[in-house]
Amino acid sequence: MAWFLIISSVIVLWVASLCKILHGSYSPPKGTFLNNLKDGGSINKRNVLLVVAHPDDESMFFTPTINYLTTRGHNIHILCLSIGDADGKGITRKEELYQASAILKVPHQQVKVLDHPDLQDGFGEVWNHNILALIIEEEINSYGIDLIITFDNYGVSGHCNHCDVHYGVIRKLLHASSQRKIEAWELVSTNIFRKYSGPVDIWLSSLYPMQCSHEVLHCLLNEQPRKSFRAMAQHSSQWVWFRKLFVGFSSYTYVNTLRKMK
């Protein structure tokens, strides 16, 4: 009986949270990310670079952030540092990223997928942080980027390529003395309970900033969670049953917590 009550409560909470998101009736306590207004009253549009490791990272983990930015008119570039060739499907995966980006409203010409010999997809592959910093630097200069978003030091799943991307951005920031100041934000990796709490995490992630008063954090809600599914479905070579389950149950489909990097 007790188990029945617990399971029923979880289902009710899950459905209620999803309804809150879908009906737009939930607003995170800190919904002011990049909402600075110019003198004329319009939003100060930013040139944002999202740096990821593999094709599908953007759809699986960053859709709330991408949707938040595109719906507010910010200009997003995606830099994917590998074609994801660990299983020999790199060429296909590269094309899939372009298709997913179209769903996410990121123009084709603003998506770059690298196939660098020293940055190959795989758990045993160590990516040189200096090479990453140079590549990111080049991208910043080419497109006038003023803000970077990437993984934190755990990279959601602990994948070493994700973690290396984080340290590449840190290296870039440390060497930024000769450049104009670049603002950078990292996607906060959550514990396993929150990671698989799906839409329920909208409540938990809104409590999280209260525990970290010394950090600058923003919770970004995915107002269109269906888009995560549609974008991820473009990655046909990866769209297997367990990833379908992941996208449904993952809190990263519904909300992203971003932390300002120092």
CA distances (Å), origin 149, targets 48, 146, 165, 186, 241: 7, 10, 11, 6, 29
Strands 255-260 and 183-187: antiparallel
Burial of 98 (0-12, 13-18, 19+ CB in 10 A): middle
Tell me if 54 contacts Zn ion by CB under 5 A. yes
CA–CA separation, 86 and 104 (whole Å): 25
Tell me if 163 contacts Zn ion by CB under 5 A. no
Q: How far is the CB of 49 from Zn ion (least distance, A)?
A: 17
Which window, 55-63, 133-141, 142-150, 216-224, contacts Zn ion (CB under 5 A)?
55-63
Q: Which residue is nearest to Zn ion (CB)?
A: 54
Tell me if 173 contacts Zn ion by CB under 5 A. no
Q: How far is the CB of 52 from Zn ion (least distance, A)?
A: 7
CA–CA separation, 234 and 236 (whole Å): 5
Residues in CB range of 100: below 8 A, 6 or more apart: 55, 56, 58, 59, 231, 232, 234, 235
User: 60, 247 in Cβ contact below 8 A?
Assistant: yes
Contact with Zn ion (CB under 5 A) among 21, 49, 53, 81: 53
Which window, 32-40, 52-60, 103-111, 237-245, contacts Zn ion (CB under 5 A)?
52-60
Which window, 56-64, 75-83, 178-186, 203-211, contacts Zn ion (CB under 5 A)?
56-64
Pick the closer one to Zn ion by CB: 57 or 85. Answer: 57
Binding residues with Zn ion: total (CB under 5 A): 3
Pick the closer one to Zn ion by CB: 53 or 66. Answer: 53
Pick the closer one to Zn ion by CB: 57 or 201. Answer: 57
Which window, 21-29, 30-38, 47-55, 86-94, contacts Zn ion (CB under 5 A)?
47-55
Pick the closer one to Zn ion by CB: 53 or 145. Answer: 53
H-helix segments, 104-159: 129-143
Residues in CB range of 258: below 8 A, 6 or more apart: 33, 65, 149, 185, 186, 187, 188, 217, 218, 220
Which residues inside 57-96 make contact with Zn ion, applying CB under 5 A? 57
Binding site for Zn ion (CB under 5 A): 53-54, 57
